[in-house]
Amino acid sequence: MKRLLAAALSAGLLSGAALAAAPWNGTYTFEQPLGPGAGGMQLFVTHTLIIGPPKGCTVVALGYQTNYEINCKATPNGDKLDVAFVSFPDDGALRPKYQPNQKLFTLNRKGNAIITDWAGYSMNKTIGAAPGEDTFKKTSDQAQMPRR
- pLDDT digit string, tens, across residues 85-94: 999 887 655 5
**Residue numbers of the domain that contains 110:** 25-140
Q: For position 148, what pLDDT does the model report?
A: 62
User: Does residue 13 form part of some domain?
Assistant: no
User: Does residue 40 form part of some domain?
Assistant: yes
User: Does residue 2 form part of some domain?
Assistant: no
Query: Taking all residues of the chain, what is their mean pLDDT, rounded to a whole number?
Result: 78
User: Does residue 122 form part of some domain?
Assistant: yes
User: Which position has the higher pLDDT, 11 or 112?
Assistant: 112
Q: For position 17, what pLDDT does the model report?
A: 36
User: Which position has the higher pLDDT, 13 or 120?
Assistant: 120
Element spanning 96, H or E: none
User: Does residue 119 form part of some domain?
Assistant: yes
pTM, rounded to two decimals: 0.77
User: Does residue 18 form part of some domain?
Assistant: no
Q: For position 125, what pLDDT does the model report?
A: 57
Q: For position 39, what pLDDT does the model report?
A: 86
